[in-house]
Amino acid sequence: MKNDEYREVPFTLAAALTLWAGLVAAGTQAGVFLRLPAETCLALAAFATLFAASVVLVDARVRGWLATRGAASAWTAALGTAVLLVAGGVGLSGGRGIEIAAAPWAPLLLFVLPVSVAAAVAAARAAWRWSAACPGNALEVAGD
């Protein structure tokens, strides 16, 4: 694909991510997720994560645009994973249970997790394609 074909992708992603983050923040502030059972919040987080990863895998323009960003996708995935791990460590250090639907868990599970997984999928796919294109750069496994 030519670079001209990626022209709308950044605007589309910015609009979608802004709307998505705004709705998750508004829902958390209004207590919408607190009224839902924990299983429903987890199912919503699983759907959002699968949807975000599917967009990267299915939409050639999004995939191509992210591939041109290379390291930015990997750093986004790493940052999102770090935020989730730190928040999980802080939340579990108190010795009490975590209320999944309460802030900050709802935004982390419904926005940070899906975006991090989508960025990781994009980075892994780009690395896979790079290693396939450059066979000399592939890792050698013992016994090969």
Q: Which amino acid is at 111?
A: F
What pTM does this model have?
0.75
- Longest CA–CA span in the chain (Å) reads 57
CA distances from 89 to 41, 95, 96, 112, 130 (A): 20, 11, 12, 16, 34
For residue 94, give the DSSP letter. Answer: T
Distance CA 105, CA 8 (A): 32
Query: What's phi and psi for 123, nearest 5 deg?
Result: -65, -40
Mean pLDDT of successive 10-residue stretches along the chain, which has 144 residues: 69 91 91 89 92 92 82 80 79 68 81 88 78 55 47
Distance CA 109, CA 49 (A): 9
Peptide bond into 104 cis (omega under 30): yes
Give the pair of three-digit tokens for residue 139.
């890792």
Displacement of CA 63 from its chain's centroid (Å): 14
Q: Taking the domains of the chain in order of start, what are their residue ranges?
A: 8-133
